[in-house]
A and B are shown apart, each in its own frame.
Chain A
Amino acid sequence: MTAAGGHEAPQADGTLVLVADDEPNIRETISFILEMEGFRVVLAEDGVSTWEKIVALRPQVVLLDAMMPRLDGFSVCGRVRSEPSLAGVRIVMVTALGQRADRERALAAGADRYIPKPFDEEELLRTIHELLDSR
């Protein structure tokens, strides 16, 4: 499969992406798009399972929702950044809170990128590819 819309998608090479969001519809739509682009996708629906899956699977990229039951996204991000063995994990924080302050908060917690909801999928993909290229 190739990306439509004239966009020349770079090779995803089966890179592992963890999509952490408590909204099932969001998980469903984003994971579909990523898989279509050639990523391998794992899902998590709360903060605690997100942390467990990061530690267990060491995904290259995590799409991390800020609002999640049990453990919020900022806290997960902080934990990852305080664990040196997880230094290679790229984190894109995604929030629907709509506050300018959220961006600072996300970057301060150690996120590599920040994307506010609602976003379009092209912006998401471009962000992920940039992250991978800069590795």
Chain B
Amino acid sequence: MVQFDNQYKQVKLKIVYYGPALGGKTTSLQYIHRVTDPQRRTKLYALNTASDRTLFFDLLGVDLGRIRGYRLTLQLYTVPGQVQYNATRRAVLAGADGVVFVADSRRDQLEANRESLANLRENLLANSLDLETLPLVLQYNKRDMPDAMPRAELEAALNRRGLPAFDTVATSGEGIIEAFAAVTEATVRTVAQRLGIASQPEAVRRLIDNVRTAMDPLLPRRRGEAVEAPTVLRPTSASPALAGDELVAEAVRANVAMTDLNAQLDRLSQELTRRVSQLRAIAEFTRAVTFTSAPEEVTRGFLERLLAELGAPCGSLQLIGEGGAPVEVQRRGLAEDPLLRASGEGSPARVVTTTRQPWAVHLPDVEPSQLLASPWLEEIAALELESALMVPLLAHDQLLGLATAYAGSLRPPFSEEELDLASIFAGVAATALDGARSWQQLEDLNRSLEQRVAERTRELAQALERQRALADELEVRNAQLEQANRQLSELERLKSELLQRVAHELNTPVTSIQTAARILSKYSELPADKAAKFVAIIQQDAARLAGLIASALEAAVLGVAGTPVDAGTVSVSELFKGVLAPFRGEIAEKGITLQVKVAAGLSELRADASQLEAALRAIIKNAVEFNRPNGSITITVRPLRREARSFVEMRIEDSGNGIPAGDLPYVCDPFWQGGNLLTSKPRGLGLGLAVARRVARNHGGDLEISSSEGSGTTVSLLIAAQGRGVS
């Protein structure tokens, strides 16, 4: 009965070698065991009697390869031929999928062959099996014996149905494999029929091809070599000869199970060994790449290890950059990678990228229609490759790359566990790659950060420098502004004072005149002397007002730039005589010493006489008014050369109060007067020096004033020299 083993994806077919005692069943099995690939078969288990006769059965597992993802395994049993072991035979036959009847060709065994065949039919029926439908093949064994019956006789006696029959010599192996192949093929065909794939003749044909391919290499090999001794298992129950039939059957079943377990154990042990070596490889690879900071070291090592572990001759690694675009491909043993190149809908790369699951294919298992529909599979076939797998390189759910591996027909298809192994390798590589990249990014970031810090520091320093310069400039501007403000408010104050002085100078005589006039009109009977006095007051202050108005007009006239100079010849002595005349009385009164010094030969000037008189009068008025009692006034007239130009200097020095240094810049401004507004009492509008400077400039010269407070003032009136006597 077909057994499906889903855990190991195995299909087990049970084939029983049946026949009379000592017919060559065990020897046949031993031959098959000897010639099959040790990788593809189990040990030969035997339960023997002391006399080297089969007690229960022999068991041999043969691996036929994979069909539709399932490993097809044959389990070959023999039965004891002796008549008394019928219960054992019946138990062994249970679940048989095919039978090889090994007949003894010797004539004296004909009856035993017949009996055994009848016994087979009986025992099959007991197991609900039908000899007519069960795949059955005959071996006419011991053909080398001298008393072997002719084949035709044997056929007539034992094979009326015309089943496949083979002439065999079990001791030399002749015909054994042919018989084995025939029963296997028939069994597989029957099983396929039962599994419902008979309607797909192509699939059945491929199944049979697989069986033939598995058998093929066995046929010509090592015929006649020494038979390997079977592994002897100890019976687990008492001698069946002494036990009842049922007890024997139970023991057989237990022993069948045990040998089955033994085979599984064997397989598990092999698998464990393989797993351990895989784990070791994974550990080594992990150790090698985990703390690598160079991504290329990881990728290079990964592909080599992966292919070595899978025993795959070729494969590729494709790295995927940001946004899913492939950035780099490494290949071993391939010029082009069909799986990586294919990118359409349903392509492996698309499937793996989407599902993040490994993918594998074994071309012989693929339906031809599917093969035609998938160009990449055709390409793989064209490269004479049979198996292919693809695994994703995943780190933190991010797809870093895809790896492929290919194998030809020399090795079995990639198994589930190899697919797992490749996935683990890919995972380790991806994690290491991610780590290495992060490390590199960190280093890059560090470098660029340092660079940026340096740049920013430089920029900041420049900005600071600019700001400092701006602040300096601002400070200078501020100081200038402050200075200008101070000057402005000082000017404002001066202007206000000037207005007050002018108001005072005009209002005071007006008040006197008004009051005196009121008195005269109000008190008509004033004594004559009183009336005369008020009239005098009126006259006096009217004259004072007239003088103020005259000087204001004079200043107004002269104050206009470019006032025409009415130049004429002016006698220096006449000029000063006229200018000084009004001050003679006051000079004498104050006891001032007056000196006039005129340079020799400078008797006449070329100038506007009236302008010059006004200017000198203003200067001398100040010199007299602000002088101290018994002071001095010195007037010097002399030629002067300055900057290649000739001038006449009229210098008036006094020994008066002097002008405070702070006032010097303003003394020539119109209406300017020194001293405290409320308590000092200079007469006039403060226009004198302004007029003098205007006059000097009208004459191509200037007014220069120097003074030290307390010791006197020197005023120089310069005019361009044009007069006679000036060389």
Binding site for B on A (CB under 8 A): 4-5, 22-23, 25-26, 28-30, 32-33, 36, 47, 66-74, 96-99, 116-121
In the bound assembly, the distance between CA atoms of A32 and B676 in angstroms comes to 31
Inter-chain contact B681/A121, CB cutoff 8 Å: no
- Contacts beyond the supplied A99-B499, A99-B500: 18 A-B pairs with Cβ under 8 Å: A23-B508, A25-B512, A26-B508, A26-B512, A26-B515, A28-B534, A29-B516, A30-B515, A47-B679, A66-B678, A67-B677, A67-B678, A69-B680, A116-B507, A118-B507, A118-B511, A120-B518, A121-B522
Inter-chain contact A68/B508, CB cutoff 8 Å: no
Indicate which residue in A29, A68, A73 contacts B512 across the interface (CB closer than 8 Å): A29
Inter-chain contact A118/B504, CB cutoff 8 Å: no
In the bound complex, residues from chain B placing their C-beta under 8 Å from that of A98 are 499-500, 503-504, 507
The size bracket of the interface on B is: 20 to 34
User: A117 with B511: in contact, given A29-B519, A36-B523, A99-B500 (CB under 8 Å)?
Assistant: yes
The 5 A-B pairs with the shortest beta carbon distances in the complex, nearest first, are A98-B503, A72-B678, A96-B507, A29-B515, A25-B512
B540 at the A interface (CB under 8 A): yes
Indicate which residue in B499, B519, B681 contacts A69 across the interface (CB closer than 8 Å): B681
In the bound complex, residues from chain A placing their C-beta under 8 Å from that of B523 are 4, 36
In the bound assembly, the distance between CA atoms of A36 and B511 in angstroms comes to 19
A-B CB contact pairs (8 Å), 24 listed: A5-B522, A25-B509, A25-B537, A25-B541, A26-B511, A29-B515, A32-B519, A32-B534, A33-B518, A36-B523, A68-B678, A68-B679, A96-B504, A97-B500, A97-B503, A98-B500, A98-B504, A99-B499, A117-B510, A117-B511, A118-B507, A118-B511, A118-B514, A120-B515
Within 8 A of A (CB), among B487-504: 496, 499-500, 503-504
Inter-chain contact A96/B503, CB cutoff 8 Å: yes
In the bound assembly, the distance between CA atoms of A85 and B699 in angstroms comes to 64
User: A117 with B519: in contact, given A68-B679, A71-B679, A98-B499 (CB under 8 Å)?
Assistant: no
Inter-chain contact B503/A23, CB cutoff 8 Å: no
In the bound assembly, the distance between CA atoms of A80 and B508 in angstroms comes to 25
Smallest CB–CB gap between B535 and chain A, Å? 12
In the bound assembly, the distance between CA atoms of A74 and B514 in angstroms comes to 25
B533 at the A interface (CB under 8 A): yes
In the bound complex, residues from chain B placing their C-beta under 8 Å from that of A29 are 512, 515-516, 519, 534, 537
Smallest CB–CB gap between A118 and chain B, Å? 4
In the bound assembly, the distance between CA atoms of A97 and B500 in angstroms comes to 5
Indicate which residue in B504, B507, B533, B679 contacts A28 across the interface (CB closer than 8 Å): B533
Smallest CB–CB gap between A76 and chain B, Å? 11
Question: For residue B500, which residue of chain A has the nearest CB?
Answer: A97
Within 8 A of A (CB), among B505-557: 507-512, 514-516, 518-519, 522-523, 530, 533-534, 537, 540-541
In the bound complex, residues from chain B placing their C-beta under 8 Å from that of A4 are 522-523
Within 8 A of A (CB), among B635-680: 676-680
In the bound assembly, the distance between CA atoms of A121 and B515 in angstroms comes to 7
User: A67 with B503: in contact, given A25-B516, A117-B508 (CB under 8 Å)?
Assistant: no
Smallest CB–CB gap between B506 and chain A, Å? 8
Smallest CB–CB gap between A122 and chain B, Å? 8
Inter-chain contact B503/A33, CB cutoff 8 Å: no
In the bound assembly, the distance between CA atoms of A71 and B680 in angstroms comes to 10
Inter-chain contact B510/A118, CB cutoff 8 Å: yes
Inter-chain contact B519/A67, CB cutoff 8 Å: no
Interface centre among B522, B533, B676, B678 (most CB of A within 10 A): B678
Smallest CB–CB gap between B489 and chain A, Å? 16
Interface centre among B515, B680, B681 (most CB of A within 10 A): B515
Smallest CB–CB gap between A80 and chain B, Å? 17
Within 8 A of A (CB), among B565-605: none
In the bound complex, residues from chain B placing their C-beta under 8 Å from that of A68 are 678-679
Inter-chain contact A33/B512, CB cutoff 8 Å: no
In the bound complex, residues from chain B placing their C-beta under 8 Å from that of A119 are 511
In the bound complex, residues from chain A placing their C-beta under 8 Å from that of B679 are 47, 67-72
In the bound assembly, the distance between CA atoms of A116 and B514 in angstroms comes to 14
Smallest CB–CB gap between A75 and chain B, Å? 8
Inter-chain contact B518/A121, CB cutoff 8 Å: yes
In the bound assembly, the distance between CA atoms of A23 and B530 in angstroms comes to 18
User: A120 with B681: in contact, given A25-B537, A96-B507, A99-B499 (CB under 8 Å)?
Assistant: no
Inter-chain contact B534/A74, CB cutoff 8 Å: no
Question: For residue A65, which residue of chain B has the nearest CB?
Answer: B508
Smallest CB–CB gap between B166 and chain A, Å? 149
In the bound assembly, the distance between CA atoms of A7 and B441 in angstroms comes to 111
Question: For residue B503, which residue of chain A has the nearest CB?
Answer: A98
In the bound complex, residues from chain A placing their C-beta under 8 Å from that of B499 are 98-99
In the bound assembly, the distance between CA atoms of A67 and B505 in angstroms comes to 11
